[in-house]
Amino acid sequence: MEFFAEYAGFLARTVTVVVAVVLVLIVIAALRGKGRQAGRGHLQVQKLNDFYRSLRERLEQTVLDKPDLKALRKLEGKQAKLKKRAGDKKARVFVLDFDGDIKASATEHLRHEITALLAIATAQDEVVLRLESGGGMVHSYGLAASQLARIRQAGVPLTVCVDKVAASGGYMMACIGEKILSAPFAILGSIGVVAQVPNVHRLLKKHEIDFEVLTAGTYKRTLTVFGENTEKGREKFQEDLETTHTLFKGFVSRYRPKLTIDEIATGEVWLGLAALDNKLVDELKTSDEYLGERAREAELFHLHYAEKKTLQERFGLAASVAIDRVLLNWWSRLSQQRFWQ
């Protein structure tokens, strides 16, 4: 009887977990069916001058004694009043971030941030992009670069800061900047195109498995994963890569005319120090250093477009966490039980 009681308890817990999993799957299916809703995001704006000032003031409060600190604050107050009376208007700097993955997913936010700033930015303002990307899909980074081109077309100065890496598609974006700043050991370049396609045709043939590839159009399919690749298909695939590479070189040359494009468009990468010698960048400087300098003479605004999570998404996340806890607890207790004695 004890065994049946334990088994009944185990069965009840299992049914509970299964029901919970089914509910979560229903929620996920509903979310996928509904798709993304337009206008769910909102623009977050932070004044970076306040951030830099708070850092400085915190340090001053610790280092300076009370009389010196009081005198400093009094002097700062007088200077602020004089500037206000003089009617000095500071330049504006709009700071954006782009952390790129292989699909350049951050473009979805970047496009909205650029649309917002272009509504008020003028030629007297500046846009600073802190860029980090090792590149990815050609069409995805082509779109990301096109978004930055909107800034140049509007006549607003664009500065690109690279602290770690801007390679391949990442450098395609960086080269649009009127000025490219790089950390000394950041990685830049990789102006080339690469494609890798595994092929298991011989394995399938060995096991007498046929795979048919039917096309309408001579080059509808060049290289395949399962079918038998031909020399003609390989040649066409290579031709497409060369065409893309030529377009890539032309794009970079358009925005960086001082580059000797055939010498640097070999797919190689350079560290910041060497990139400066090869004219891939204009100056060696980190984004922190540059923004710190600009904060002394301009108003800095950091823009970030954030997506709002719907009630269903928040519920789905909470349910997922709850199920993980239930499963962990269930497995922990189950491992301590013995059903056969």
Catalytic residue chosen out of the listed positions 133, 140, 168, 287: 168
Report whether 303 contacts 42 (CB < 8 A): no
The SS3 call for residue 181 is strand
Other CB atoms within a 10 A radius of the CB of residue 147 amount to: 20
Assess whether 182 carries a catalytic annotation: no
H or E element that contains 146 = helix 138-153
- Token code pair at residue 316: 């789905």
Assess whether 249 carries a catalytic annotation: no
Rounded-to-integer distance, Cα 157 and Cα 166, Å: 20
Other CB atoms within a 10 A radius of the CB of residue 101 amount to: 13
Rounded-to-integer distance, Cα 227 and Cα 222, Å: 10
Q: Give the 3-state secondary structure percentages of the chain, helix then strand then coil, rounded to 5.
A: 50, 15, 30
Question: How do strand 269-271 and strand 179-182 relate by DSSP bridges?
Answer: unpaired
Report whether 106 contacts 98 (CB < 8 A): yes
Rounded to 5 degrees, what angle do the CA atoms 44, 299, 256 make? 90
Q: Which residue, 292, 67, 253, 276, is CA-closest to 175?
A: 253
DSSP-derived letter for residue 73 is H
Catalytic residue chosen out of the listed positions 66, 84, 89, 220: 220
Residue 169: is it exposed, middle or buried by C-beta count within 10 angstroms (0-12/13-18/19+)? buried
Other CB atoms within a 10 A radius of the CB of residue 108 amount to: 15
Rounded-to-integer distance, Cα 318 and Cα 312, Å: 10
Residues noted as catalytic: 168, 220
